[in-house]
Structure 1
Amino acid sequence: MHSDRRPFREFDDSEDAEALRLARRVVRGLSLSMRHVVIAPGSRSAPLAYALAEAEQLGAIRLHVRIDERSAAFTALGIALDSGQPAGVVTTSGTAVGNLTPAVMEADMAGVPLVAITADRPEELHGTGANQTTWQHGMFAGRVRDEIHLEQGEVRLEPVSRDDMLSAETQVALLMRQASESRGKGPGPVHLNIGFRDPLVPREPEEGAPAVPQRWARRPVRPQAPVQPAVHLQGGALMDQLDAEEREAAREQIRRSLRAVQDIARDVRTVFVLGHDAPPEAAQLALELGHPVLAEPTSGARDADAAVPAYRLILQAPASSAGGRLTAEIQRVVVAGRPTLSRPVQRLLTADAVEAVQYQPAGVGWHDHRLPRPVEHDLERIREFAGAPPAGWLDTWLRVGRRVQQVVDRELDSVGALSSVRAAQLVAETVRTPLLLGSSSVIRDVDLAARLTMHGPARLVALRGLSGIDGNVSAASGIALSRERRVSALVGDLTFLHDLNALLLPSREQVPSVDVVVINDAGGAIFDQLEHGDVGRRPGKGEAVERLFGTPQAVDLAQIAAGFGVEHRGVGTPEQLQQALAHPDDRLGVRIIEVRTDRHGLRDLHTRMKDGVAAL
Structure 2
Amino acid sequence: MSTPRRPFREFDDAYDAESLRLARRVIRGLTMSMRHIVLAPGSRSAPMAYALREAEELGAIAVHVRIDERSAAFTALGIALATKAPAGVVTTSGTATGNLLPAMMEADLSGIPLVAITADRPEELHGTGANQTTWQQGMFAGRVRDEIHLEQGEARLEPESRDDMLAAETQVGLLLRAATGTSPGPVHLNIGFRDPLVPAAPGQDRPSGVQRWARTPIVRRSRGTDSAEQLRAEIIGSEILDAGTETAPGLTEAVGPAAAPQPGESSDQVPNAPGAQGPAPVSADPALDAASDAASAAAGESPAEAAARFEAGLGTARTVFVMGADAPAEARELARRLGHPLLAEPSSDARWSDLGTIQGYRLILQAPEGSPAGILTDSVDRVVVAGRPTLTRPVQALINRSDVEAVQYAPGGEAWFDHRLARRVLPDLLALAQFARKAPPGWHDSWTERGLAAQRLIDAALTEQEALAQGELSSVRVAQFVAETVKTPLLLGSSSVIRDVDLAAVLNRTVLGARDDARRIYAMRGLSGIDGNLSAASGIALARSTRVTALVGDLTFLHDVNALLLPATEREPDLDIVVVNDSGGAIFDQLEHGAVGRREGQAEAVERFFGTPQTVDIEALADAYGHDYHFAEDLEALGEGLSGLEDRVGIRIIEVRTDRSVLRDFHARLRAAAADL
In which range does the TM-score fall when normalised by the shorter chain? over 0.9
Which of the numbers 491, 495, 499 marks the counterpart of 1:440? 495
Q: Give the match for residue 422 of structure 1.
A: 477
Letter in 2 for 1:13: D
Letter in 2 for 1:200: L
Q: Give the match for residue 225 of structure 1.
A: 233
Q: Does 1:121 align with 2:137?
A: no
Q: Give the match for residue 641 of structure 2.
A: 580
Q: Does 1:536 align with 2:597?
A: yes
Q: Give the match for residue 276 of structure 2.
A: none
Whether the aligned pair in 2 keeps the contact of 1:79 and 1:475 (CA below 8 Å) is yes
Q: Secondary structure at the match of 1:356?
A: strand
Q: Secondary structure at the match of 1:347?
A: helix
Q: Give the match for residue 672 of structure 2.
A: 611
Which of the numbers 181, 198, 203 marks the counterpart of 2:200? 203
Whether the aligned pair in 1 keeps the contact of 2:15 and 2:206 (CA below 8 Å) is no
Letter in 2 for 1:24: R
Pairing 1:170-209 to 2, within 5 Å after superposition: 170-181=170-181, 186-207=183-204, 209=206
Q: Distance in 2 between matches of 1:510 and 1:589?
A: 8
Q: Distance in 1 between matches of 2:259 and 2:435?
A: 30
Q: 1:2 to 1:588 in 2, by over 3 A?
A: farther
Q: Secondary structure at the match of 2:233?
A: coil
Letter in 2 for 1:479: I
Q: Secondary structure at the match of 1:11?
A: coil
More displaced 10-residue stretch of structure 1: 320-329 or 519-528: 320-329
Whether the aligned pair in 2 keeps the contact of 1:291 and 1:306 (CA below 8 Å) is no
How far is the alpha carbon of 1:505 from its aligned partner?
0.3
Whether the aligned pair in 1 keeps the contact of 2:158 and 2:167 (CA below 8 Å) is no
Letter in 2 for 1:572: E
How far is the alpha carbon of 1:458 from its aligned partner?
1.9
Provide, for residues 386-445 of structure 1, a one-character-per-residue CA deviation record: whole Å limited to 9, x for no partner.
Answer: 222222111111011101100100111121321100000011101121110000000000
Whether the aligned pair in 2 keeps the contact of 1:147 and 1:192 (CA below 8 Å) is yes
How far is the alpha carbon of 1:125 from its aligned partner?
0.4
Q: Give the match for residue 393 of structure 2.
A: 343
Q: Distance in 2 between matches of 1:205 and 1:349?
A: 67
Q: Secondary structure at the match of 2:335?
A: helix
Q: Distance in 2 between matches of 1:95 and 1:253?
A: 62
Letter in 2 for 1:285: L
Query: Identity over the aligned pairs, expressed in percent?
Result: 63
How far is the alpha carbon of 1:230 from its aligned partner?
4.6
Q: Give the match for residue 97 of structure 1.
A: 97
Whether the aligned pair in 2 keeps the contact of 1:114 and 1:190 (CA below 8 Å) is yes
Q: Give the match for residue 295 of structure 1.
A: 344
Q: Give the match for residue 240 of structure 1.
A: none
Q: 1:409 to 1:257 in 2, by over 3 A?
A: farther
Q: Distance in 1 between matches of 2:7 and 2:609?
A: 70
Q: Does 1:393 align with 2:401?
A: no
The alignment's TM-score, normalised by the length of structure 1, stands at 0.93
Q: Give the match for residue 22 of structure 1.
A: 22
How far is the alpha carbon of 1:224 from its aligned partner?
3.5
Which of the numbers 377, 381, 386 marks the counterpart of 1:327? 377
Q: Distance in 1 between matches of 2:419 and 2:205?
A: 65
The alignment's TM-score, normalised by the length of structure 2, stands at 0.85
Q: Secondary structure at the match of 2:355?
A: coil
Q: Distance in 2 between matches of 1:54 and 1:280?
A: 40
How far is the alpha carbon of 1:6 from its aligned partner?
9.1
Whether the aligned pair in 2 keeps the contact of 1:118 and 1:193 (CA below 8 Å) is yes
Q: Does 1:468 align with 2:529?
A: yes
Q: Does 1:454 align with 2:509?
A: yes
Q: 1:79 to 1:120 in 2, by over 3 A?
A: same
Which of the numbers 353, 356, 359 marks the counterpart of 2:406? 356
Q: 1:339 to 1:5 in 2, by over 3 A?
A: closer
Q: 1:434 to 1:256 in 2, by over 3 A?
A: farther
More displaced 10-residue stretch of structure 1: 422-431 or 201-210: 201-210
How far is the alpha carbon of 1:210 from its aligned partner?
3.3
Letter in 2 for 1:270: T
How far is the alpha carbon of 1:158 from its aligned partner?
5.0
Letter in 1 for 2:376: L
Provide, for residues 55-78 of structure 1, a one-character-per-residue CA deviation record: whole Å limited to 9, x for no partner.
Answer: 000000100000000000000000
Whether the aligned pair in 1 keeps the contact of 2:15 and 2:205 (CA below 8 Å) is no
Provide, for residues 111-147 of structure 1, a one-character-per-residue CA deviation record: whole Å limited to 9, x for no partner.
Answer: 0000000000000000111110000000000010000
Q: Give the match for residue 266 of structure 2.
A: none
How far is the alpha carbon of 1:586 from its aligned partner?
2.2
Q: Distance in 2 between matches of 1:559 and 1:254?
A: 66
Q: Secondary structure at the match of 1:519?
A: strand
Q: Does 1:276 align with 2:306?
A: no
How far is the alpha carbon of 1:610 from its aligned partner?
1.3
Q: Give the match for residue 246 of structure 1.
A: none
More displaced 10-residue stretch of structure 1: 227-236 or 271-280: 227-236
Q: 1:59 to 1:323 in 2, by over 3 A?
A: same
More displaced 10-residue stretch of structure 1: 558-567 or 386-395: 386-395
Whether the aligned pair in 1 keeps the contact of 2:258 and 2:336 (CA below 8 Å) is no
How far is the alpha carbon of 1:372 from its aligned partner?
2.4
Q: Give the match for residue 375 of structure 1.
A: 425
How many residues matched?
599
Letter in 2 for 1:314: I
Whether the aligned pair in 1 keeps the contact of 2:65 and 2:567 (CA below 8 Å) is yes
Letter in 2 for 1:190: V
Which of the numbers 307, 312, 325 marks the counterpart of 2:357? 307
Q: Distance in 2 between matches of 1:413 and 1:30?
A: 53
Q: Distance in 2 between matches of 1:583 and 1:258?
A: 51
How far is the alpha carbon of 1:371 from its aligned partner?
2.7
Q: 1:160 to 1:406 in 2, by over 3 A?
A: closer
How far is the alpha carbon of 1:529 from its aligned partner?
0.6
Q: Distance in 2 between matches of 1:610 and 1:585?
A: 42
Whether the aligned pair in 1 keeps the contact of 2:361 and 2:451 (CA below 8 Å) is yes
How far is the alpha carbon of 1:344 from its aligned partner?
0.4
Q: Distance in 1 between matches of 2:402 and 2:319?
A: 15
Which of the numbers 560, 573, 577 marks the counterpart of 1:516? 577
Letter in 1 for 2:459: D
Letter in 2 for 1:279: P
Q: 1:480 to 1:114 in 2, by over 3 A?
A: same
Q: Distance in 2 between matches of 1:486 and 1:200?
A: 38
How far is the alpha carbon of 1:490 from its aligned partner?
0.5
Letter in 2 for 1:518: V
Q: Distance in 2 between matches of 1:253 and 1:287?
A: 21
Q: Does 1:549 align with 2:600?
A: no
Which of the numbers 452, 462, 466 marks the counterpart of 1:412? 462
Q: Distance in 1 between matches of 2:165 and 2:193?
A: 17
Q: Give the match for residue 245 of structure 1.
A: none
Whether the aligned pair in 2 keeps the contact of 1:156 and 1:165 (CA below 8 Å) is no
Q: Give the match for residue 47 of structure 1.
A: 47
Pairing 1:250-289 to 2, within 5 Å after superposition: 257-266=307-316, 268-289=317-338
Whether the aligned pair in 2 keeps the contact of 1:463 and 1:472 (CA below 8 Å) is yes
Whether the aligned pair in 2 keeps the contact of 1:286 and 1:306 (CA below 8 Å) is no
Pairing 1:93-172 to 2, within 5 Å after superposition: 93-157=93-157, 167-172=167-172
More displaced 10-residue stretch of structure 1: 363-372 or 99-108: 363-372
Q: Does 1:494 align with 2:558?
A: no
Q: Give the match for residue 656 of structure 2.
A: 595
Q: 1:274 to 1:165 in 2, by over 3 A?
A: closer
Whether the aligned pair in 2 keeps the contact of 1:14 and 1:158 (CA below 8 Å) is no
Q: Does 1:318 align with 2:379?
A: no
How far is the alpha carbon of 1:611 from its aligned partner?
1.7
Q: 1:393 to 1:203 in 2, by over 3 A?
A: same
Structure 1, unaligned runs of 5 or more: 238-248
Q: Give the match for residue 431 of structure 1.
A: 486
Whether the aligned pair in 2 keeps the contact of 1:430 and 1:581 (CA below 8 Å) is no
Provide, for residues 150-206 of structure 1, a one-character-per-residue CA deviation record: whole Å limited to 9, x for no partner.
Answer: 00010233599767798110110110110111x5xx000000000000000001021
How far is the alpha carbon of 1:483 from its aligned partner?
0.5
Provide, for residues 65-100 of structure 1, a one-character-per-residue CA deviation record: whole Å limited to 9, x for no partner.
Answer: 000000000000000011010000000000000000
How far is the alpha carbon of 1:31 from its aligned partner?
0.8
